[in-house]
Chain A
Amino acid sequence: MKIAFKHLSKYFGKVKAVDNLNLEVGDGEFVALLGPSGCGKTTILLMIAGIYKPTKGLIYFDQRVVNNVLPKDRKIGMVFQSYALYPHMAVFDNIAYPLKLKKVHRKETKERVQRVADMMGIGELLDRKPAQLSGGQQQRVALARALIKEPEILLLDEPLSNLDARLRIMMRSELKRLQKDLGITTVFVTHDQLEALTMADRVAVVNLGCFQQFSTPDELYNHPKNLFVAGFIGSPPINFINVSLEKSDGRFLLKSRDLEIPLPKELGSKAGNNSTSSEVVLGIRPEHILINEKEGIDTEIYVVEPLGREILVSAKLGDSMIKVLTSPPFKANMGDRVRLSFNLDKIMLFDKKTEKSLLLDKD
C-alpha cells in the first residue's frame, strides 16, 4: 500500500510539531524517518497510525484519504519503542489479541499465532509472561503481534534502541530481510543514522518538524541538500570550514586565513551562480582528505586515534580541527606537521546564510 502526505501539519497548542510535510512512500518500500530527538518523527508515525489527527493536510493510503479512519480500521501493525506488551497476558495472548478482537476462530488463532511465533523464533515462549523475557525476545513478541494481522503497513518506532549493541546489529539485518520477504510497506523511525542508512530504501531526514531531505542513503551521504543533513549524516562527522568564495582571473577560489583552494571551473561557476554572498561553508568528509608530507595545507597533528580498520587523525588548522580518516600504517605523531589535500571531486559547498548546498541544481 502506498502512503502519501499532502501539506501535513500537526500543532500542539502553539508548538508546530510537524509543519507542512509532503511525502510519498511507494508500495513495499522501506522508509526511515531520521532525526534528532524531539524533531517530530514519532508524531508523524502516530499520525499514520491514526492515534493523532493532523491539524492540517491529508494522509492518503493508496488513493483513499484516511484522516478520519480509526486506527483499528487502517490495517497497520506497529511496534513501539517500549514494545508496549500487555504485561498481564502471556506471550500467546499478546500475539493473539488482535485476532481475539476480530473474533477469529480459536483453532485458526492458534495456528496463526504458532506460525508467526515460529517465524520470529519465539515459538517456545508462548506460555511465558512478558516480564520473563529478555529485551530481544520482547521485541520479537511485539513484532509478531504487529504482523499477525497481516497488515498492509508496518510502523516501527525506534524498534532497536532498547537492544544491546550486538543484538541490534543482528536485528538490523533480520528486520531488513523480513521486510523484503513480506513486502510490507514499512515506515521506521530512528535517531540512529547507521540504522536508517543500512536498513531503509529511502531516508527522510527530519528536523524541527520539516523534511530536510528525502532520498536514498547514497544521495543523502554524497549529495546532501543542506548543512543540517551534511552534518547529521556521517560518522565521524563531516568537517565544516568557513571560507569566502572569491573570483580572480576568471577562476573561483575558496579562501580563508589558513587556506586557499582554487576550484575546478565547473564547480566554481556552479557555486558562484547559486551563492547569495561570498560567505560559504566548505564541507569535506574525513575520508576525502589525503595526508602527505609534500603538498597541501600545512597543519599540525593534534591527536591520532586508531580505529582498527582505519586511523582517525585530528589536525589543527588555525582555530578549527580537521578530522581525517586514513588507512594504516600511519607513522606521524602528535605535534608533527603534515600537509592535507582535499579531494576536489568530493567537496561540498553551502551558502552560509541559507544553509543550502551550492552544488545542486536549483529545483
Chain B
Amino acid sequence: MTLRQKLRPALAYLALIVPSALILLGFLWLFITSFSTRTEGLRSLGWTWRNWSFLWESPFGPHYPSIWWVTLNTLVMSLIMTLIVVAVSSMTAYALSRMKFAGRKSFLSLTLILHAFPSVTLLIPIYFVLLWVSKIPVIGRGVPLLGGLGYNTIGGVALVMVAFQLPFGIWVMKGFFDNISWDMERSALIDGASRFKVWWQIMMPNIKPGIAALSIFSFITAWNAYLIPLTFTAGRAGKSAVLSLYLQNFISESVMTEWNAVAAVGLFQLIPVVIFFLFTQQALLNIYGGGKKGGV
C-alpha cells in the first residue's frame, strides 16, 4: 500500500473521531458529574450517590409528584403522540400519494407551509382552544392516566404535539409510499383487496423503514419537548409534569443550582431515548430488501 492509500482512510477516521470525541466528552462530563459531589473539569472531587436520590425521594417535598410519575407522564405522552402521528400520517400520506381528489395539491402545499410555520406564534391561540376543550365533560379532564385532552393534561399536550408533528410526518410517509410501485397495488386490487386492505396488508409492511424512522423521530421529539409542555401545563412540578419540566425545577433564581443533580436527572432522561434508539436503529438502517430483483 502506498502512503497515499493509507492516508485516505486515516483522514476519514480523523474527520469522524474528532467531532465524536467532542460529543462523547460532554456525555462523559455528565456521567462523572452525576456521581460527584463537585467536579473540576472531568476530575471528580469526591464520589457520591446523593445526586441520584431523586429516584427514591422527591427533592422538592412530599406533595410533589415523584420522578416515576413524571416519567410515566412523559412515556404516555410520547407513546400517544408517536402512535397518533404514525397512524394519521400513514393514512393521509397514502391518500395523497395514491388517490386523485379535489384539493390534493393545495392540501400538500398547505402541509408544507404548516411545517415551516413558526409554532411559537400559535401558543396563545392554542392555549384558548385547550381551555375550551377542558370544559367538555370527561374528554376535557376526566380520563385516567391521560388526564384528558384539555389544558393542563398529558392528553392535551400530546394533541398539540401531534398537530405540530403531522405535516412533517405526512411528508416523510408520502415519500415512502411514492417509492412503492403502482403495479404492486394494482395487483392487490385485482387479487381482490379493498383499498383499506391494500394499505394495511400490502403497503404498510413495505414501508417499515419509514414507519420506524417516523416513530423514532416522533418519540424523541416528544420525549425531549419542552416549550409545549411548559406552556400548556400549570406548574413545573404539577401532576401533568414531564421530565423536561421536572429538570427545570432544579434551576431556579433564588437557590444555588445543584448542577450535579441536574446532570443526574438529565442522564436519567437520556437513558430511555438511548435504549429506544438501540432497538429501532436496526429497522432504520436495514432498508427492507424488496422482491423486485430483475424488476423495474
A residues near B, CB below 8 A? 46, 49-51, 70-72, 74, 76-78, 80-88, 97-98, 101-102, 129-131, 133-135, 138, 145, 149, 162
- Our pick among B190, B206, B294 for the contact of A138 (Cβ within 8 Å) is B294
- Our pick among A46, A77, A83 for the contact of B295 (Cβ within 8 Å) is A83
Interface string of B9-53 (1 = CB under 8 A from A): 000000000000000000000000000000000000000000000
Q: With A80-B186, A82-B295, A162-B296 given, name 5 new contacts (CB 8 A).
A: A51-B190, A84-B183, A86-B202, A87-B288, A138-B291
User: Does B228 belong to the interface (CB within 8 Å)?
Assistant: no
- Our pick among A70, A85, A101 for the contact of B291 (Cβ within 8 Å) is A85
- Our pick among B187, B197, B289, B294 for the contact of A84 (Cβ within 8 Å) is B187
Q: A88-B206, A98-B192, A101-B193 are in contact. Are A131 and B186 (CB under 8 A)?
A: no
How far does the Cβ of A132 sit from chain B's closest Cβ, in whole Å? 9
Q: Which 5 pairs across A and B sit closest by C-beta, in order of nearness?
A: A130-B291, A87-B291, A135-B294, A82-B295, A84-B183
Please determine whether B187 and A72 come into contact, CB atoms closer than 8 angstroms: no
Interface string of B145-167 (1 = CB under 8 A from A): 00000000000000000000000
How far does the Cβ of B259 sit from chain A's closest Cβ, in whole Å? 50
Interface size class, chain B:
20 to 34
User: Does B290 belong to the interface (CB within 8 Å)?
Assistant: yes
Q: A84-B181, A86-B202 are in contact. Are A78 and B293 (CB under 8 A)?
A: no
Provide the residues of chain A in CB contact with B296, threshold 8 Å.
81-82, 162
Provide the residues of chain B in CB contact with A87, threshold 8 Å.
206, 288-292
B residues near A, CB below 8 A? 181, 183-184, 186-194, 197, 202, 205-206, 288-296
Please determine whether B295 and A145 come into contact, CB atoms closer than 8 angstroms: no
Please determine whether B189 and A51 come into contact, CB atoms closer than 8 angstroms: yes
Please determine whether A162 and B294 come into contact, CB atoms closer than 8 angstroms: yes
Provide the residues of chain B in CB contact with A86, threshold 8 Å.
184, 188, 202, 205-206, 291
Please determine whether A49 and B291 come into contact, CB atoms closer than 8 angstroms: no
Question: CA of A133 to CA of B205 in the docked complex: distance in angstroms?
Answer: 20
Provide the residues of chain A in CB contact with B192, threshold 8 Å.
72, 98, 101-102, 149
Question: CA of A131 to CA of B293 in the docked complex: distance in angstroms?
Answer: 6
How far does the Cβ of A1 sit from chain B's closest Cβ, in whole Å? 15
Provide the residues of chain A in CB contact with B292, threshold 8 Å.
82-83, 85, 87, 130-131
Please determine whether B290 and A131 come into contact, CB atoms closer than 8 angstroms: yes
Q: List 26 A-B contacts (CB under 8 A).
A: A46-B186, A51-B186, A70-B189, A71-B190, A77-B190, A78-B187, A80-B187, A82-B183, A82-B295, A84-B187, A85-B291, A85-B292, A86-B202, A86-B205, A87-B290, A87-B291, A98-B191, A101-B192, A130-B292, A131-B291, A134-B293, A138-B294, A145-B187, A162-B294, A162-B295, A162-B296
